[in-house]
Amino acid sequence: MERMLTGITPSGVAHIGNYIGAIKPALAEQQDGREHFYFIADYHSLVKCWDASLRQQYSYDVAATWLALGLDADKTLFYRQSDVPEILELNWLLTSVAAKGLLNRAHAYKDKVAKNVHEGQDADNAITMGLYCYPVLMAADILAFNAKYVPVGKDQIQHIEIARDIAARFNHIYQQEVFVQPEAVVNEKTQTILGLDGRKMSKSYQNTIPVFTSSKQLRKNVMKIVTNSQLPEEPKDPEACTVFSIYSALATDEQVKELRARYEQGIGWGEAKQVLYEHLESLLQGPREKYRALMADRAGLDRLLEQGALRARDIAGPILQQAKRAAGVI
Ligand code: ADP
Ligand code: TRP
């Protein structure tokens, strides 16, 4: 069966942009007849965050968020990266064949070097080997399961190309087709959701609407979305409006048509925001309760993720063994 794999870095609390751009499309695919792997990339987060308790908290948060929003842990493989030691073992086999020149060209690393040079710092200032080798670990995540399809955002395409290169190189060096060449799957349709201030919604800009807050806070956030100074009765352009774009990413065609007509007739911003809030509330009310229950039972989340990891290890184990045997490491 074809395998599809998605890694989620536990680096913050999910916002509506993450939900529309990443979570919803990924969950829609879990019924497509392929075998799906969703994992919490806690080892990846080590590179960006050195706060142990925050990492732990975000890892549980990712797990609870995805489960509450509809991830089916029985139909898919859902696990924590750090519960699958085969990934790290494979990481070294891959590091040993990965060309340094290839990693020199990785955007995340190159951007950091360029920034250092621009600021008159040593080129390697604050760059860890973790950041440098990050694409190899990503290759290990994918190749440990010989996943063929990897849904990612545009910024991650280069990492998948690096994984392809490493897979081909390993196969070539050891003269065995151990690894399948993965392919990036980029959903061109998902739009970029704007945040409260009109820039891209991102936790880096502190302009987000978190998916799971109280109903009261959700309303407050929606009311904070920046709009222009048009009067209530003036006809409004739905295309240039953050409120409308969020609504249209979540509502049915019929509902979108209705709101569009109201914009064209003239709708007060407070009224438009109330429509969006009510829609979000109706969508998120059920998941919010589920999320809270999951977050209140960390032992339960641990059990569920550990079961996922056991199933994942059953798949990664033989692939790792094959790679080790090919490399003469047994
Ligand atoms: P952030 O920008 O808040 O740090 P991440 O970089 O962690 O978000 O993104 C996690 C996932 O959510 C990625 O797949 C990314 O493409 C998607 N995503 C993030 N922000 C948005 C947005 N504003 N609109 C659509 N998708 C988004
Ligand atoms: N690096 C990815 C991100 O920042 C997360 C990730 C880690 C990943 N390992 C992966 C994604 C393997 C796809 C496949 O979004």
Buried b (16+ CB within 10 A) or exposed e, 167-202: bebbbeebeeebbbebebbeeeeeeebbbbeeeebb
**Probe residue for ligand 2, chosen from 4, 5, 9 as the CB with the greatest number of ligand atoms within 8 Å:** 9
pLDDT at 228 over 80: yes
Q: Which ligand gives the minimal distance to the CA of 22?
A: 1
Ligand 2, residue 6: give the atom nearest the CA.
13
pLDDT value for 199: 95
**Probe residue for ligand 2, chosen from 8, 48, 91, 131 as the CB with the greatest number of ligand atoms within 8 Å:** 8
Write out pLDDT tens, residues 266-299: 999 999 999 999 999 999 999 999 999 999 999 9
pLDDT tier, 328 (very low <50, low <70, confident <90, very high otherwise): very high
Q: What is the CA radius of gyration of the chain?
A: 22
Q: Which ligand gives the minimal distance to the CA of 147?
A: 2
Q: Are residues 79 and 36 in contact, defined by beta-carbon separation less than 8 angstroms?
A: no
Write out pLDDT tens, residues 189-209: 778 899 999 999 999 999 999
Residue 133 alpha carbon to ligand 2 centre in Å:
13
pLDDT value for 224: 97
pLDDT value for 23: 94
Least confident range from 81-90, 149-158, 168-177: namely 149-158
The C-alpha atoms of residue 219 and residue 202 are separated, in whole angstroms, by 19
pLDDT value for 101: 97
Q: Which amino acids bring their CB within 6 angstroms of ligand 2?
A: 5-7, 9, 41, 44, 138, 141-142, 150, 152, 156
Q: Which of 219, 218, 216, 198 is nearest to 207 (CA)?
A: 198
Write out pLDDT tens, residues 30-74: 988 899 999 999 999 999 999 999 999 999 999 999 999 999 999
Task: Give me the chain's average pLDDT, please.
Answer: 96
Write out pLDDT tens, residues 110-167: 999 999 999 999 999 999 999 999 999 999 999 999 999 999 988 899 999 999 999 9
The C-alpha atoms of residue 93 and residue 95 are separated, in whole angstroms, by 6
